[in-house]
């Protein structure tokens, strides 16, 4: 974490700023249109109010003075207003509008956003309107410009602040990613941020922990597999050199050849098991499902392994209830082969192995031996690759059987548990989901 990195400029913030600026421009455009419409309406209302105020003033002059219309118009003139007597009112007003004006009312008519106000003064219709040199649009634009400028400046300031706050966790993730890229899996991000950013950082930390475990397992796997291959290869090399010795008698030669064959078989089993384990690591679900009798599958496995247990006079106590399940039979048979082989391997000569098949909420298989048993340390690591608790029997296996069993049970959605104690044997309980039975 203390390592300093030269970080190239990250474009996320710049892109976000550009997006915010575009949004700001779009917002300004729509605001300008809306402001223009509103300003036009407001300015038109202001002009109409000024015209009506001038009309009321004219009516007051007409009622209180004896001035002629021209003098009254001259007194009522204001900036941006033009007052004139209408020579032919009927050409500008409808009959209804004209009647309203003749009855002494002030009439305002809006045409093309410019209002015109009519009033009766000294029996003559006077028109009050905005002067021709008054530009309505030039009066509206300054209002819109000031409002848009203030809005744009405020929006840009807020955008810069928001982008700095939003891009900060992204920058932290970027720096952490570069550290991970260099092999530092100890980097962690704070998870106290709210919302999606906090979830992203939590997921990032989980990913880092998984990568750390994977890197450790990879190193441990390479170390373990190198050791497992090195031992039989060294044995084969040693016995091959012994065979090259002059004057070797036939019995010794046969013994060395047998040892080479035994170590070669061990290498072959190790390679086959590794390939099978590699395939299972990539497999996430059963390859093929079929309906079969679980108790019959157990019987077939015991018969298949007869050469291994008959020479040691192993006795069997079987309680195999008829249980029909739907699962991957090819994968599951590997589970029983490994568990039964372990029970035979760790049982004493003339010992007893108990197998019980039953059905509760799940299909259960319990395989119990009364052999050497396992310590707590061994049980904690028994599913690790290449781990063999009883080193005196390590020549009989490669330490991958229980690892295969655990992986297969995970694929099939089952679970496996063990109870054991040194000198009291071991009991493995495998539980499988209860599938739909065939009718």
Least confident of 68-82, 305-319, 377-391: 377-391
Q: The pTM is what?
A: 0.46
pLDDT digits (tens, 9 = 90+) for 411-427: 888 898 999 888 888 99
Is residue 93 domain-shared with residue 128, that is, in the same domain? yes
427 in the same domain as 324:
yes
pLDDT (0 to 100) of residue 389: 57
- pLDDT above 70: residue 276: no
Instruction: Give the strand pairing for 352-359 and 315-320.
Output: parallel
SS3 assignment for the chain: CCCCCCCCCCCHHHHHHHHHHHHHHHHHHHHHHHHHHHHHHHHHHHHHHHHHHHHHHHHHHHHHCCCCHHHHHHHHCCCCEEEEECCCHHHHCCHHHHHHHHCCCCEEEEECCEEEEEEEECCEEEEEEECCCCCHHHHHHHHHHHHHHHHHHHHHHHHHHHHHHHHHHHHHHHHHHHHHHCCCCCCCCCCCCCHHHHHHHHHHHHHHHHHHHHHHHHHHHHHHHHHHHHHHHHHHHHHHHHHCCCCCCHHHHHHHHHHHHHHHHHHHHHHHHHHHHHHHHHCCCCCCCEEEEHHHHHHHHHHHCHHHHHCCCCEEEEEECCCEEEECHHHHHHHHHHHHHHHHHCCCCCCEEEEEEEECCCEEEEEEECCCCCCHHHHHHCCCCCCCCCHHHHHHCCCCHHHHHHHHHHHCCCEEEEEEECCCEEEEEEEECCCCCCC
Q: Quick one: 248 and 311 in the same domain?
A: no
Span 397-412, mean pLDDT?
77
**233 touches 267 (CB < 8 A):** yes
Point out the least confidently predicted range of 186-195, 251-260, 412-421. 186-195
Beta bridge partners of 324: 293
Evaluate if residue 83 carries a pLDDT over 90.
Answer: no
Rounded percentage of the chain residues whose pLDDT exceeds 70: 75
Same domain, 54 and 200: no
276 burial level (CB within 10 Å; 0-12, 13-18, 19+): middle
* Boundaries of domain holding 132: 1-187
Check if the beta carbon of residue 396 is closer than 8 Å to that of residue 348.
no
Residue 58 clears pLDDT 80, i.e. is over it: yes
pLDDT over threshold 80, residue 266: no
User: What does the pLDDT look like over 92-118, one tens digit per residue?
Assistant: 888 888 888 888 888 888 766 578 888
Residues of the chain with pLDDT > 90, as a percent, come to 9
Beta pairing, strands 290-293 & 324-327 = antiparallel
Per-residue model confidence (pLDDT) at position 5: 41
Number of other residues whose CB lies within 10 A of the CB of residue 213: 11
Phi, psi of 27 (to 5 degrees): -65, -40
Which of the listed ranges 169-173, 286-290, 358-362 does the model predict with the highest average pLDDT?
A: 358-362
Structural tokens at position 186: 């100890």
- Please tell me which residue, 126 or 436, carries the higher pLDDT value: 126
Residue at a domain's end among 278, 313, 348? 278
Task: Please check whether residues 54 and 154 belong to one and the same domain.
Answer: yes
Q: State whether 392 and 322 are in the same domain.
A: yes
Rounded mean pLDDT of 324-339? 87
* Beta-bridge mates of residue 363: 359, 432
**Bigger pLDDT: 4 vs 390:** 390
Domain match, 259 and 327 both? no
Backbone phi, then psi, for 129, in 5-degree steps? -145, 170
Give CA–CA dist 113/106, Å, rounded: 19
pLDDT of residue 358: 92
328 and 417 share one domain: yes
What is the model's pLDDT at position 366? 94
Instruction: Name the domain boundary from 131, 157, 187.
Output: 187
Residues 379, 401, single domain; the answer is yes
Residue 437 counted as domain residue: no
Pick the residue with more confidence: 70 or 231? 70
| Distance (Å, whole) CA 346 – CA 157 | 76
Quick check: is 310 in a domain?
yes
Q: What is the CATH number of the domain that holds 289?
A: 3.30.565.10
Assess contact for 130 and 82: CB atoms under 8 A.
Answer: yes
C-alpha closest to that of 54 among 156, 161, 131, 157? 131
Gap between the Cα atoms of 141 and 146, Å rounded: 9
pLDDT of residue 430: 92
Two tokens at 287?
């390859």
Does 438 fall in a domain? no
In a domain, 439, yes or no: no
Tens of pLDDT, residues 131-183? 766 666 666 667 667 766 777 777 777 767 766 776 677 777 778 888 877 77
**Measured between alpha carbons, how far is 258 from 354 in angstroms, rounded to an integer?**
34
Rounded to a whole number of angstroms, the CA Rg of the chain reads 48
For the CA atoms of 290, 296, 297, 303, the dihedral, rounded to the nearest 10 degrees, stands at -150
Reported as a pLDDT band with limits 50, 70 and 90, residue 205 is confident
- CA 177/CA 183 separation, integer angstroms: 10
Q: Is 141 among the domain residues?
A: yes
Co-location of 85 and 117 in the same domain: yes
Residue 427 in any domain: the answer is: yes
Using the 3D structure, point to which of 256, 278, 300 is the last residue of a domain: 278
Q: 């104690």: which residue's tokens?
A: 421
Number of domains in the chain: 3
């Amino acid at each position: 974490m203390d390592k300093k990195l030269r970080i190239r400029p990250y474009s996320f913030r710049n892109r976000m700023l550009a997006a915010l600026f575009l949004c700001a421009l779009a917002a300004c455009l729509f605001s300008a249109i809306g402001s223009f419409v509103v300003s036009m309406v407001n300015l038109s209302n202001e002009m109409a109010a000024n015209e009506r105020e001038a009309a009321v003033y004219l009516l007051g002059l007409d009622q209180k003075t004896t001035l002629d219309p021209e003098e009254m118009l001259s007194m009522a003139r204001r900036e941006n207003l033009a007052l004139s007597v209408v020579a032919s009112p009927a050409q500008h007003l409808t009959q209804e509008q004209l009647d309203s004006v003749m009855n002494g009312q002030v009439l305002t008519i809006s045409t093309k956003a410019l209002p015109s106000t009519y009033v009766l003064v000294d029996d003559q219709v006077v028109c009050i309107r905005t002067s021709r040199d008054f530009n309505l649009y030039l009066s509206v634009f300054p209002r819109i410009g000031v409002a848009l400028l203030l809005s744009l400046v405020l929006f840009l300031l807020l955008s810069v602040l928001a982008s700095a706050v939003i891009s900060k966790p992204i920058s932290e993730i970027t720096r952490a990613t570069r550290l991970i890229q260099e092999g530092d899996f100890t980097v962690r991000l704070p998870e106290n941020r709210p919302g999606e950013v906090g979830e992203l950082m939590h997921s990032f930390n989980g990913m880092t922990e998984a990568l750390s475990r994977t890197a450790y397992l990879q190193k441990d796997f390479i170390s373990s597999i190198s050791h497992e291959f090195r031992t039989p290869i060294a044995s084969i090399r040693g016995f091959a050199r012994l065979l090259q010795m002059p004057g070797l008698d036939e019995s010794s030669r046969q013994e060395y050849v047998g040892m080479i064959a035994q170590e070669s078989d061990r290498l072959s089993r190790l390679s086959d098991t590794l390939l099978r384990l590699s395939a299972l690591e990539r497999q996430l679900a059963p390859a093929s499902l079929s309906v079969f009798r679980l108790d019959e599958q157990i019987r077939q496995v015991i018969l298949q392994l007869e050469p291994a247990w008959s020479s040691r006079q192993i006795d069997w106590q079987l309680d195999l209830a008829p249980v029909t399940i739907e699962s991957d039979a090819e994968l599951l048979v590997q589970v029983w082969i490994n568990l039964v082989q372990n029970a035979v391997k760790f049982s004493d000569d003339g010992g007893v192995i108990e197998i019980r098949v039953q059905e509760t909420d799940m299909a259960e298989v319990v395989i119990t031996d009364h052999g050497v048993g396992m310590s707590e340390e061994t049980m904690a690591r028994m599913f690790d690759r290449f781990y063999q608790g009883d080193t005196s029997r390590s020549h009989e296996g490669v330490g991958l059987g229980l690892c295969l069993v655990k992986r297969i049970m995970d694929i099939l959605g089952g679970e496996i548990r063990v109870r054991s104690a040194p000198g009291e044997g071991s009991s493995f309980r495998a539980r499988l989901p209860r599938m739909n039975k065939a009718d």
